[in-house]
Amino acid sequence: MGMLGVKIGKIRLKNPVMAASGAFGYAKEFEELVNLAEIGAIITKTITLNPKQGNPMPRICETQAGMLNAIGLQNEGVDDFIKEKMPYLSKIGAPIIVSISGNNIDEFFILARRIDKIKNIRGIELNISCPNLKSKRLVAQDAKATYEVVKAVRKVTNKALITKLSPNVTDIVEIAEAAENAGSDAVSLVNTFLGMAIDIDARKPKLGNITGGLSGPCIKPIALRMVYEVSKNINIPVIGAGGIMNSDDAIEFMLAGAMAIQVGTANFVEPGICGKIVKGIEAYLRKHKIEKIEDIVGGLNDKR
């Protein structure tokens, strides 16, 4: 597998750097800026069963050391994805993982079954940070709902299954355990934190949706702590995400227990960042005479 190779479920990645869902579109947007084949895996923007309009404008604003977004999962739906996006994605050379979201268990089930039939898709990431209609909470805020969604999807696919967890919970370990018990091959954490920003002159929210998801360097310490907690308590791979801007950040997440990492907001700042992070991780391993990346996963010296 090479010194940087890692395994997530059935997927062998040539390096642990993944482009996060929502920050990399459907990859074509980055083709002139990035050597797409260098990336460990590409996770598509979330797709839903039917087309979604998304939230009212404005949808993005900058904050101190980060950004807020309230896109609202705007996408053209699964039929368009298969017909229009997949032919290009199939040719890239990096493993493609499709992020899916549904309004209820049936939608997750139907979507996963459709995606399972496409041989060029290597895995499915479940974006369960969408409202659960019954309780108005996010699926990822409820261990039982998380278990039910993962279990339903597991029944219809043999592809690698990654469950993306929301940090907007009291105890993220409990949710990760539910995903593992239901058959998820890995968990990725964290999705964005719920936040808001106000224009004091207009006395209005800066986002059309009022609140949005906070990402970027400002969330890194909290995301890192959550990855550390979760990786100590489950036996499936953890994929770390949250404010990773360079290879040092990526290595911190891996020392805390992440088998792979996802780069999101940094792609907006510097489109070629994923390739740079791969090179930086490799340089770190050589400097410290470490033969393979897996040797640093969970390698934090935290004994008091």
Strand 66-69 versus strand 96-100 pairing type? unpaired
Residue whose tokens read 């839903």: 48
DSSP string, 241-299: ESS--SHHHHHHHHHTT-SEEEE-THHHH-TTHHHHHHHHHHHHHHHTT-S-GGGGTT-
Distances (CA, A) of 130 to 58, 70, 168: 20, 12, 12
Read off the DSSP letter of residue 37. Answer: G
Can 130 be counted among the known catalytic residues? yes
Whether the CB-CB separation of 254 and 296 falls below 8 Å is answered with yes
Cβ neighbours for 29, distance < 8 A, ≥ 6 positions apart: none
CB atoms within 10 A of CB 12: 14
DSSP type of residue 52 = B
Angle formed at CA 249 by CA 248 and CA 253, multiple of 5 degrees: 115
Residue 118 phi, psi dihedral angles, 5° rounding: -95, 110
For the annotated catalytic residues, the residue numbers are 130
